[in-house]
């Protein structure tokens, strides 16, 4: 079958000789419909392999080249044995939770399979991927979509689940009329903004430098947007909160030294800072930024099934309307040029580029690699 495969740094190819997977007991064969390209894909492309295994992965036993695509939706083509009472059925629309975990390490035993010591993701660590004609996944990875949620929106469930997990890990449920600051207006920051609004935040402030992303933040409902190059974020946030009590919670989705320091300083006494970003290198950090406020700092990673379920329920109820996140749709044979390079060279122009797996592929595009760029 045809699939997009990751071979290494700046080497992604579309090939047509990938063996079709076997659907075993407790597994589901899925026909991918839409696949999102995310920042992790770009990091792998430009500087990897990082997540992608160069030696056999402890769970999937695969190493590069691997089929890619971990943010995806699709429809069921086949059910493996033992799923007669699962509630799943052929033709059903799904969002796929791509989490791979071992179920035996300390993290998994603690119920934190998202932080599995041997973990990974379908489409990053082996086990197939969304950028293929078919993929076989465990039944537990299949989350049915409501009738009123289309498959393109289904491909946004994964990044929205990152935002849901971050908000769920915060003390938002314990605060009456919470006031929140989100640092970063990229895809994950915008997901957090939308989830906060769906979860009843009274005030949502987004801190973002890029003008286009400032516009996106406003479009997705942020009540105020602060440009940190033009205003004092701490002073302005306090003013927007009424001048007495600073924001309750800060979410750092930017992952730069300035954002973490400002996030710690912007919250109220006994407020909370939630780190959503993944850091590429060590940075200076002064614990007194938190100590002098008795503030807490919480790290979060990825998502769990409950987060997918929360997002899907909110989508079905119309509490989250993320369609404007989709800034471009491309065919798989244009993955590198119109997908990866577009996001790298014009990152402020896009939020989410989706690959439409049901669109036609040109016969000439059997191999696509960045060497042509």
Model confidence at 51, in pLDDT bands (50, 70, 90)? confident
Question: Could you tell me if 44 and 177 lie in one domain?
Answer: no
Mean pLDDT across 38-60: 93
- Residue 171 burial (10 A CB sphere; 0-12, 13-18, 19+): middle
Query: Structurally, how many domains does the chain consist of?
Result: 2
Asked, for residue 313, whether it belongs to a domain, the answer is no
Mean pLDDT across 232-242: 97
**pLDDT of res. 45:** 94
Question: Could you tell me if 128 and 80 lie in one domain?
Answer: yes
**pLDDT of res. 360:** 65
Question: Could you tell me if 289 and 341 lie in one domain?
Answer: no
**pLDDT of res. 348:** 83
Question: Could you tell me if 262 and 355 lie in one domain?
Answer: no
Helices (H), the chain: 39-47, 106-109, 151-154, 157-169, 187-198, 211-219, 233-240, 257-266, 288-291, 305-316, 341-345
Minimum mean pLDDT range among 225-234, 294-303, 341-350: 341-350
Asked, for residue 153, whether it belongs to a domain, the answer is no
Question: Could you tell me if 74 and 125 lie in one domain?
Answer: yes
Question: Could you tell me if 140 and 9 lie in one domain?
Answer: yes
- Taking only the tens place, the pLDDT of each residue in 54-99 is 999 999 999 999 999 999 999 999 999 999 989 999 999 999 999 9
Which segments of the chain are extended strands (E)?
Answer: 3-8, 11-15, 27-36, 66-67, 71-79, 93-96, 99-100, 120-121, 135-138, 142-144, 179-183, 203-207, 224-226, 249-252, 272-275, 296-299, 326-330, 352-356
Helix (H, G, I), strand (E, B) or coil at 215: helix
Mean pLDDT across 110-127: 96
- Taking only the tens place, the pLDDT of each residue in 329-363 is 999 999 999 999 999 998 888 999 999 999 864 44
Does residue 369 surpass a pLDDT of 50?
no
Which CATH number covers residue 263? 3.40.50.720
The strand pairing partners of 182, in sequence order, are 206, 251
Asked, for residue 181, whether it belongs to a domain, the answer is yes
Asked, for residue 341, whether it belongs to a domain, the answer is yes
Asked, for residue 372, whether it belongs to a domain, the answer is no
Share of the chain above pLDDT 90, in %: 91
Question: How far is 159 from 188, CA to CA, in rounded Å?
Answer: 6
**pLDDT of res. 50:** 85
Start-to-end C-alpha separation, the chain: 26
Question: Could you tell me if 128 and 13 lie in one domain?
Answer: yes
**pLDDT of res. 349:** 87
Asked, for residue 370, whether it belongs to a domain, the answer is no
Q: Which domain holds residue 12?
A: 3-144+322-363
- Taking only the tens place, the pLDDT of each residue in 158-179 is 999 999 999 999 999 999 999 9
Question: Could you tell me if 109 and 173 lie in one domain?
Answer: no
Asked, for residue 252, whether it belongs to a domain, the answer is yes
**pLDDT of res. 271:** 97
Asked, for residue 306, whether it belongs to a domain, the answer is no
Residues 6+ apart with CB under 8 A from 107: 113, 115, 116, 117, 119
Mean pLDDT across 175-186: 96
Which CATH number covers residue 127? 3.90.180.10
Does residue 32 surpass a pLDDT of 70?
yes
Model confidence at 265, in pLDDT bands (50, 70, 90)? very high
Share of the chain above pLDDT 70, in %: 96
């Amino acid at each position: 079958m045809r699939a997009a495969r990751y071979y290494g740094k700046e080497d992604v190819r579309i090939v047509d000789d990938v063996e079709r997977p076997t659907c075993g007991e407790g597994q589901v064969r899925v026909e991918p419909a839409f696949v999102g390209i995310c920042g992790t894909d770009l990091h792998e492309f430009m500087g990897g392999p990082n997540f992608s295994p160069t030696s056999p992965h402890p769970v999937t036993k695969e190493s590069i080249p691997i089929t890619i695509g971990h943010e995806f939706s699709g429809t069921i083509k086949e059910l493996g044995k033992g799923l007669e009472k699962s509630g799943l059925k052929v033709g059903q629309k799904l969002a796929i939770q791509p989490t791979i975990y071992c179920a035996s390490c300390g993290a998994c035993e603690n119920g934190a399979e998202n932080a599995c010591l041997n973990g990974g993701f379908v489409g990053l660590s082996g086990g197939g991927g969304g950028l293929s004609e078919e993929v076989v996944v465990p039944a537990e990875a299949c989350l049915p979509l409501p009738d009123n949620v289309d498959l393109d929106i289904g491909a946004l469930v994964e990044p929205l689940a990152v935002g849901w997990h971050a908000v769920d890990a915060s003390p938002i449920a314990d605060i009456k009329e919470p006031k929140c600051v989100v640092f970063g207006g990229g895809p994950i920051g915008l997901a957090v903004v939308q989830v906060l609004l769906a979860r009843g935040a009274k005030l949502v402030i987004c801190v973002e430098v890029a003008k286009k992303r400032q516009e996106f933040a406003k479009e997705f409902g942020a009540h105020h947007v602060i440009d940190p190059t033009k205003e004092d974020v701490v002073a302005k946030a306090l003013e927007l909160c009424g001048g007495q009590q600073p924001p309750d919670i800060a979410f750092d989705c930017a992952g730069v030294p300035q954002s973490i320091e400002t996030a710690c300083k912007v919250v109220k006494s006994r407020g909370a800072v939630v780190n959503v970003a993944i850091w590429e290198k060590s940075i200076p950090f002064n614990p007194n930024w938190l100590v002098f406020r008795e503030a807490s700092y919480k790290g979060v990673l990825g998502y769990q099934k409950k987060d997918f379920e929360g997002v899907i329920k909110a989508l079905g109820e119309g509490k989250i309307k993320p369609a404007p996140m989709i800034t471009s749709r491309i065919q798989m044979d244009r993955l590198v040029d119109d997908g990866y390079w577009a996001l790298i060279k014009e990152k402020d122009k896009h939020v989410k580029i989706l690959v439409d797996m049901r669109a036609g592929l040109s016969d000439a595009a059997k191999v696509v690699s960045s060497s042509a760029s």
